[in-house]
Amino acid sequence: MKLEKEKHDKREKKKSKHSSKDREKDSEPNGKHKPSSKMQESDSQSGVSSSAVKSEAGDGEMHEDVKVGPDERTQDDGQEKSSSPEINNNKKNNKQKTRSKSSKERHNHKEKSEQTADQELCDVDGNLQNESNGDSNQADEGHGCESEAAPKQEADEPQAAAPVKIKKKRVKDEKSPEKHDDKNQTSGKKRKKQTSEHDKAEKNKKIKKGGDEEDKKKKKGKKEDKKDEESDKWKWWEEGKLSDSQKWSSLEHKGPYFPPEYEPLPDNVCFYYDGQTVKLSPATEEIATFYAKMLDHEYTTKEVFQNNFFGDWREVMTKDERKLIKTLSKCDFSQILKYFVEKSEERKNMTKEEKQVLKDEANRLMEEYGYCLLDGHREKIGNFKLEPPGLFRGRGEHPKMGKLKKRIQPEDVTINCSEDSKVPEPPAGHQWKRVQHDNTVTWLASWLENIHGRPKYIMLNPSSKLKGEKDWQKYETARRLKMSVDSIRKRYRRDWKSREMKSRQRGVAIYFIDKLALRAGNEKDDESADTVGCCSLRVEHIRLHRRLDGQEHVVEFDFLGKDSIRYYNKVPVEKQVFKNLKLFIKHKDPEDDLFDRITTINLNKTLNESMSGLTAKVFRTFNASTTLQDQLNKLTTEDMTVEEKILSYNRANRAVAILCNHQRAAPKTFEKSMQLLQEKIQKKKEQIEEAKKELKEAKKAHKDAPSDKSKKLLEKKEKAVQRLCEQLKKLQLQETDREENKVIALGTSKLNYLDPRITVAWCKKHQVPIEKIYNKTQRDKFAWAIDMTDENFQF
C-alpha cells in the first residue's frame, strides 16, 4: 500500500507541474501576470486558502479537524514544501480541479439550486478570496462559496502565523489509485451481494416470523371461535321437554341436495361388445359405468351380482341395444374403467389451490343444505345429500346384490316442515311428491328406495336435540331395568318348567337375550340376507354338548347375525335350559325353527308387561352398560398412569364388544402399523441402554470428584433414563391395546349401547381427559352427558 501511495504522489506532482506550465503560457498572451511574492505570502497567511481546501470534498463524507500552521498550509499530505509559491499555488489549483470534478458528479440538485444565494454572499464578503483564487473558482463551477461563516472568519481574524482549525474533507475517489478501481468495484459488488443476501435472509426471517404470527393469530381465532361455538351451543337438556308425542314446535330447512346429472363419456372412451365398438344411449352408458367402476372388486366375480346387474341393465336399454347386447361375457368395459382410474389419479394429484376450490364448494353446500332451524335453533342435518344411483352391494351373500339403485327424483320425495315455515324449493322443472307438517316425527324428508321398497329418511345429526333426547330416554329406560331385572329373571326361570311349550320357549329365549345379549331377531323374507337373531334361530345353528373343554351342558352357537357377521360362541348353560333345548330340537330337521312357538312381537309384548318400555334391545343396552360399569370398577386403580387407565377403559369396552359380538376384520394396515410400532419400541430400548451407560459414567465421575456440576449432570442423566422408561411403557401399552382390539369394533358399543354418563363420570373421577376416550364426533353427540354428569354417577 505504501508503494502504491508513493506512485500516486509522484503522478500528482507531475500533473501539477504540467498544469502550472500550461497556465503560465496561457496567461502571457492574455495579459495576465504572475502574482508577486508579497501577494502570494499574504494569500498563504490569510484564511482565504480555506475555501480551496473546503471545496476538495464536494458532497464530502467524513470531516476531520486539522490544525494547519503557517509553514504547513501549502503541503499536500506530507509532501515537501514547494520552493516556488507559484508552483505551489498551481498545485493547489490542479488539486482543486480534480476534486471539484468528482464532487460535481456527486452534487445533487439541491446544492445547485442554492448557488444563487451563496454567490450573493461571496460578492459581499469574498473579494479577497476571488482575487487570490480566481482560477480555483473557475474550476469549481456549481459549488459557489461555502457557508457564511468562512468569509466572516477571514475578515475578522488577523493575518497571524498562529495555527487555525479548518475542516478537511476526504475524498475516496482521489485517495484510491486508478489501478485498483476494478478491484474496488469487484469488492464493492461482493459487499453489495453479501448485503443483499443478508437483507434477503432478514426479509425471509421477517416473512417467516410474520407467517408464524399469522398462524398464531389463526389458531387463536379458531380457539376463540370454538369458545364462541361452545357458548352458543343449545343446552336443550336444561329446558323443559315437550310432550312424548310432539317432537318439535317449528321446523324449517332447504330440503335434500340432489346429485348432479350424468355427464356422458368422451368420444375417445368406447364400450365394446364382441370386439366391436358400440355407441350406447346416455341412460345405458350411465349404468355401464357403474359396473365398470367395480371391475376391480370381488363383487363382479359373483354370479348373483352379474345376473342381477345384467337383468336390470337390459331393462334400461333401447330396443336396438337389447337386440345386440345379449351376453354379459361379451361386454368389454376396460376402456371405461381405465378412464375412471385416470380421473381418480387426477383428483389425487390436484394442486392445493384446486383442492381448496372443491373444499370451498363442499362448505358452501353444507351451509346451504346442511342445517335447519328447529324451534328457532340452528341444528345440523345428518345426511342432506341424496344417495346417487349405482349398484346395490349388500352385506355377505345378499340375494339382491348387483341390482340397480335408481336415481331419486323430487317427485319421489315427501317434505316435512312446520306450517309457518318456508317450503323448500324443488329443483327447476320438478315438484315434490307431497309436503306435510307432522311434528310427531323427527325426519325432514322421506322416499321409498327401489331395492327393498322400504322408506328412507333425512334425519338430524346425532348431536342434535331430537337424537340426544332419544338417547337419553333409552339409557334412562335401561337404568330403570336395574330395578326390575330380578323379578323378570325369576319369571323366566319359572317358565322353564311350565307345562306349556310356548312359555318354555319364551323363557329360554329371554334367558339367551339376558345372558348373551342376543338380538331378538325379525322374520325375514326370501329376498333378504340369511341373518338371524334369537327368535329366528334354526336347529342347525346350535350344537349341544353334555361335556366340552372341562365344562358341562355347553351350547355351541354358530350363525350369521346382523350385517352378516358370524356369531360363534361356546357357552355353558344351566341344566334345565340344556334339557329344554334337547326337547325343542327333538323330531326337527336342521332347517326348522328352534323357537317355533314364539315371535319377536310376542316376546317384546311379554317384556313390556314386566316393565313399561322394555324390549329386547333395552336388555342389550342394560347388559352392555352394566358390564362396562363393573369392568371399570374392577380394572381401574388410583395409582395408575393416564395411559394405564386408558388401557383399562379399552379392556372394559372390549368386554362389552365381545358380549355384543361387535367384530370386525383386521385393518389392512394392521401388520405394517404394528411393525412400525415394534421398531419404535426396539429403538427406545436401545436409547434406554445408552442412557443407562451415561448414567453409570456420571455416577462414577461424581463419586471420584464430587461437585455441584457433577451432581447436576447426574440428576439430568437420571431424569433422562426415567423419561425414556416412561416413553417405552407408553409404546408397550399401545402395542398391547392394538393387538387385543385387532378384530374387535369398540366404536359400535361406545356409540349405541354404553351410557355415556358412565364414561364421563369415570374420566372426571380418575382425571382422564375426555378427549382421550371420545373423539370430536362422540363429544358432540354426548354433549348432554358431559355437561350434566359428575364423578359420582353410577349406572
Q: Which residues are catalytic?
A: 753
Q: Which residues of 254-273 are buried (b: 16+ CB within 10 A; e: fewer)?
A: bbbbbeeeeeebeeebbbeb
Q: Rounded to whole angstroms, how far apart are CA atoms 771 and 784? A: 16
Contact between 257 and 485 under an 8 Å Cβ cutoff? The reply is: no
What does the chain come to in residues?
Answer: 795
| DSSP β-ladder status, 414-416 and 434-436 | parallel
Residue 188 to residues 193, 199, 737, Cα–Cα distance (Å): 8, 16, 67
What are the strands, taking DSSP E only, across 338-451?
A: 371-374, 377-380, 390-391, 404-405, 414-416, 434-436, 445-448
- Residue 172, judged by CB atoms within 10 A of its CB (0-12, 13-18, 19+), counts as exposed
Residue 87 to residues 83, 222, 583, Cα–Cα distance (Å): 8, 83, 144
Taken in order 692, 696, 697, 699, the sign of the CA dihedral is: positive
Q: Rounded to whole angstroms, how far apart are CA atoms 71 and 241? A: 112
Contact between 18 and 60 under an 8 Å Cβ cutoff? The reply is: no
Contact between 99 and 58 under an 8 Å Cβ cutoff? The reply is: yes
Residue that the C-alpha cell 365398470 belongs to:
292
Residue 387 to residues 164, 405, 408, 449, 771, Cα–Cα distance (Å): 101, 9, 8, 10, 32
C-alpha torsion 632→638→644→649, nearest 10: 20
Q: Rounded to whole angstroms, how far apart are CA atoms 310 and 327? A: 8
- Residue 656, judged by CB atoms within 10 A of its CB (0-12, 13-18, 19+), counts as buried
